[in-house]
Structure 1
Amino acid sequence: MEHHHNSAKWRQVLAKCLAFFHGNPPAIIGGLLATIILLGALFAPAIATHDPQKRVSRPHQAPSAEYIMGTTRNGRDVFSQVLYGARKSLTVAITAGIIAMSIAVAVGVSSGYFGGKIDEWLNFITNVFLVFPQLPLLIVLAAFLGQVGSLVITVLLGVTSWPWGARVIRAQTMAIRNKEFIISAEVMGESKLRIILVEILPNLVSIVFGGFLGTVIYAMGSEAGLGILGLGDATEVSWGSMLYWAQVSSSLYTGAWWEMLVPALALAFTGGALALINMSIDQVSNPKLKTGPHLKVWKKLQKAANQRRGLA
């Protein structure tokens, strides 16, 4: 019976995900763009036409049939670099997002559910992290450590990006903890860990996923920013290092606009795709934003919830 109850909860989550994309153009567009970019990064070795680290032609060759996105100052294929760069940049951003949201969930749920001294201490730690501006802090830390690799940048981004997510999750957990189903579970003697995992977390999926996407966007931009400043590892192929070398070679001034434009557009399209999905999540999950195409989606979710409760 317990297993059936748990699986039913996660089936409801899956149903919400499917309903989220149904009749939701921004989510569909963002999802398609994100899927194409992820597939390009995943299958970069099969799609790329050249080794991104090797010189294959003369410097700053304009886009052509052979080199569809041109070449860099060092004669490297930009198309191959942007594909392999996607692997590195997205790996950094997604891993940083996982680290940040794992900390945010642990801190936010613990603070919101347990309250008391635990809430006071965790809230204090969160506020301390919120005091420091993230990007300047990252720049100072990266400069202090010297030219750092992607692993160090990932960890730095992950451990400095969680406070806002923790604050939102804490507020939502505090709103949930006094609900009837939580009180009933406590009266029945359920362990606090089980209540958190089975009763609370499924109700935070949209908030956690939205926070994760926001963190990925921020981490992706920050990695590129650190790369442009020369604080990352310029020998690794990433969108940030591509922008760094385009800047060093003064590509815009020499007419080789493609060397700067291609990684910049890759960042813009990826960030835009994730932002569309994130915006759609907020509009679907937030009753105050029930407008336009999202109104139908929200009404379907509301009707399904009422049917499960026997109210319709």
Structure 2
Amino acid sequence: MMTSQRTLNVQTQKKAARRRPTRPALDNLRLLWSNRKSRVGLIILGAFLILAIFAPLIAPYSPTDNSFDRSADASGAHWLGTTAAGEDVLSQLIYGARISALVGFGAGGISTIIAMLIGLSWGYMRGFGAEVVGFFVNLFLVIPSLPLMIVIAAYLQNGGVSVIIAVIAITGWAWAARVLRAQTQSLRGRDFVQAARFAGERSPRIVFREILPNMTSIIIGGFFGAAVSAILAEAGLEFLGLGDSTAVTWGTMLYWSQNSNAMLTGQWALLFAPGLCIALLATSLMLINFGIDGISNPRLREGSTGR
């Protein structure tokens, strides 16, 4: 009788502990929109996503059509001029949003998943296994990411967008894993985790069903940070000629503008337009991160008078 009563008490404690106040997704979107910085970021990001999705309908020409005059100045037919190969710069700029968005969200998502799996497991486990995982994480933290990306991309040169995504994802997960590990360690001793452990739940279920929901805002914020790093890294690798030079991306536009001496020939749009788009897309994600911080920490919300 005492055993049954104790089991019932543990289950009741677990249910009470799991009744954590959650904010619906609609309320979170309203909080994002109420933040002025986040609102600006959402508008800019939405504009780039529209360009990426509807590029065939928005672009005036095909990005690979080289039947126009070479290195032509801006005109009514070509708002930003043409490249040294006779391609429309505006069309390439619009189509370039596709690859940059794909690489940013793809590599950012993969690196965030890797960081989440390793960080949560590393923070919950103890003993020799935690030391082994910590060694590999610290190894990736010590090795400079940019030289490592350059070496891997040079070895797998012209492998396409998938190679660029894989290279950025492999080299960009360690710091986020360390942050998630620290947060997991702080949650490991909470009452709802102890109740789940006493109820006999397995460690994977405790990690991904009890601890993970409490770290959603941190993971989302880490995803946006990883996406920004991926966009900048993709542009850097393409600019160095370590990607697929035949693909139409903002990075390859910078690469070909450098090879054709765009500044000397007066083709300023070929150089500054993709650079400005890269900066705006990265800035939009960073501005959205302000709203994510406001969701996770009420003291950071605009108009909040945190005590």
Q: Which residue of the partner structure matches residue 309 of structure 1?
A: none
Q: Percent identity?
A: 40
Which residue of structure 2 lines up, in the alignment, with residue 278 of structure 1?
289
Q: Are 1:71 and 2:82 matched, yes or no?
A: yes
CA contact (8 A) 2:100 2:234 kept: yes
Equivalent pair of 2:295/2:301 in contact (CA under 8 Å): no
- 1:38-73 deviation line (CA, Å, top 9, x unaligned): 121111112111110111421222223322222211
The 5 Å alignment of 1:82-231 reads 82-231=93-242
Instruction: Give the 3 Å change call, closer, same or farther, for CA 262–145 of structure 1 in structure 2.
Output: same
Structure 1 CA distance, aligned partners of 2:301 and 2:163? Answer: 43
Deviation at 1:18, TM superposition (A): 2.4
One-letter amino acid of the counterpart of residue 77, structure 2? E
Q: What SS is found at the alignment partner of 2:79?
A: coil
Which residue does the alignment assign to 2:268?
Answer: 257
Provide the aligned length of Structure 1 versus Structure 2.
292
Which residue does 1:269 correspond to in 2? 280
Which of 251, 255, 258 is the equivalent residue of 1:244?
A: 255
In the alignment, the residues of structure 1 paired with residue 70 and residue 184 of structure 2 have an alpha-carbon distance, to the nearest angstrom, of 56
Using the TM superposition, give the Cα deviation of residue 94 of structure 1 relative to its aligned residue in structure 2, in angstroms.
Answer: 1.4
Rounded Cα–Cα distance in structure 2 between residues aligned with 1:14 and 1:30: 18
Distance 1:294 1:281 in 2: 15
Name the stretch that deviates more: 115-124 or 175-184: 115-124
Q: Give distance in 2, aligned partners of 1:294 and 1:216.
A: 28
Encode CA deviations 1:103-143: one digit per residue, 9 max, x unaligned: 10010000111222222111111001111110111112222
| Residue of structure 1 in register with 2:70 after alignment | 59
Could you tell me the TM-score, scaled by structure 2's length? Answer: 0.88
Question: Which residue number in structure 1 is paired with residue 302 of structure 2?
Answer: 293
Return the alpha-carbon distance in structure 2 between the equivalents of residues 19 and 115 of structure 1: 40
SS of structure 1 residue aligned to 2:304? helix
Distance 1:21 1:121 in 2: 39
Partners of 2:277 and 2:243 lie apart in 1 by 19
Secondary structure of 1:295's partner? coil
Q: Work out whether residues 56 and 77 of structure 1, in 8 Å CA contact, stay in contact via their aligned partners in 2.
A: no
The one-character-per-residue Cα deviations of 1:127-169 (angstroms, maximum 9, x if unpaired) are 0111111011111222233444221111111111000000000
Determine if contact 1:24/1:294 at 8 Å carries over to the other structure.
no
Matching residue of 2:6 = none
Aligned partner of 1:234 in structure 2 is 245
TM-score with structure 1 length normalisation?
0.86
Q: CA deviation at 1:19?
A: 4.4
Change (3 A) 1:22 1:35: closer
Task: Give, as a single letter, the amino acid of the residue that structure 2 aligns with 1:249.
Answer: S
Q: What's the CA shift string for 1:186-215, capped at 9, x where partnerless? A: 222233333222221111111111111111
For structure 2, the residue ranges without an aligned partner over 5 or more in a row are: 1-14
For 2:208 and 2:229, the matched residues in 1 are separated by: 28
